Homo-oligomer: A and B are copies of this chain.
Amino acid sequence: MNATARYKEIANILQVEIASGAWGVGDKLPAEPELIKRFEASRTTIRQALAELRDAGLVQMKHGVGVFVSPPRVVKRLDSRERLSRARRERNEGAFLAEAKAQGFAPTSSVRVWFEPAQDFAELFGIEETAELCVRDRVMRADGKPVMLAVSRLPREITRGTALEEVDTGPGGAFARLEELGFELTSHEEIVGARMPDANEKQMLELTSGPVLTVQRRTYSNGRLVEVNDMVMPGASYELRYTWDAD
């Protein structure tokens, strides 16, 4: 690699100009032919520079339309401990709806529910591979924009014939129903990772660049695993917050 590859140089110039407000959020950058003239570079090089900006999350490229300045990282900070508290549930608020309300956007979520053999999750739940799970596949949206994918799995042994198998789990959400069924929720575990989204996630989350944060939450009732929830959210717009007392 050169000390300063031309495309990186161009990317850097554009980055500085964006940062200094030469184009505002949502503005269209000059089209490629203009950039080619301005920087006296080939289209390939210009596009390589734009790809850098895209990968850095600074711009969004829309086929047939143009390249647009992305909004600055607006972070939703999720506090897992607080958001799963019983107090919340007793106010009849599911975690997502409550947060949405607090942050002043209109939350919607679509849910699909189905049943399938435990397979890869059998060991985790300590059940047979052929035992059925209730799968709740949700897309959370804020003001119509998708902000999180969540796939929740519970042993059907627990959910059979309950509201947990309905699209609408009712006031307080799924956790409230679990407690009504006698499953006192005693502990949570969250496993956090980061990776690039796959094609489906890109489409569902309307992502054009950048990584996703993944969280697998495991919820236990007196030592028994009752729910595994796999969540995927855009890395650019989420921070996760965890707090604990020192022992």
Chain B hits for A77, CB < 8 A: 191
Q: How far is the CB of A10 from chain B (nearest CB, A)?
A: 15
Chain B hits for A245, CB < 8 A: 186-188
What is the copy number of this chain in the assembly?
2
Q: Is the Cβ of B211 less than 8 Å from the Cβ of A210? A: yes
Chain B hits for A188, CB < 8 A: 243-246
Chain B hits for A84, CB < 8 A: 246
- Asked whether A91 is an interface residue with its Cβ less than 8 Å from the other chain, the reply is no
- The residue that A235 contacts in the complex, of B75, B191, B194, with Cβ under 8 A, is B194
- Asked whether A86 is an interface residue with its Cβ less than 8 Å from the other chain, the reply is yes
Known interface pairs A57-B196, A185-B246, A242-B242; 5 further A-B residue pairs with C-beta atoms within 8 A, sorted by A's residue number: A187-B244, A188-B245, A190-B242, A191-B240, A195-B211
Q: How far is the CB of A175 from chain B (nearest CB, A)?
A: 9
**Which residues does A use to contact B, with CB under 8 Å?**
1, 44, 55-57, 63, 75, 77, 80-81, 84-87, 185-196, 210-213, 235-236, 238-247
In the complex the two chains form, what is the Cα distance from A86 to B236 in whole Å? 34
Chain B minimum-CB-distance residue to A213? B194
Q: Is the Cβ of B187 less than 8 Å from the Cβ of A236? A: no
In the complex the two chains form, what is the Cα distance from A87 to B247 in whole Å? 8
Chain B hits for A212, CB < 8 A: 194
Q: Is the Cβ of B210 less than 8 Å from the Cβ of A242? A: no
Q: Is the Cβ of B196 less than 8 Å from the Cβ of A210? A: yes
Chain B hits for A241, CB < 8 A: 189-192
Q: Which of A44, A63, A195, A236 has the most CB of B within 10 A?
A: A195
Chain B hits for A244, CB < 8 A: 80-81, 187-188, 242, 244
Chain B minimum-CB-distance residue to A220? B246
Q: Is the Cβ of B192 less than 8 Å from the Cβ of A236? A: no
In the complex the two chains form, what is the Cα distance from A84 to B122 in whole Å? 32
Q: How far is the CB of A110 from chain B (nearest CB, A)?
A: 24
Chain B minimum-CB-distance residue to A217? B242
- The residue that A243 contacts in the complex, of B44, B189, B235, with Cβ under 8 A, is B189
In the complex the two chains form, what is the Cα distance from A244 to B219 in whole Å? 10
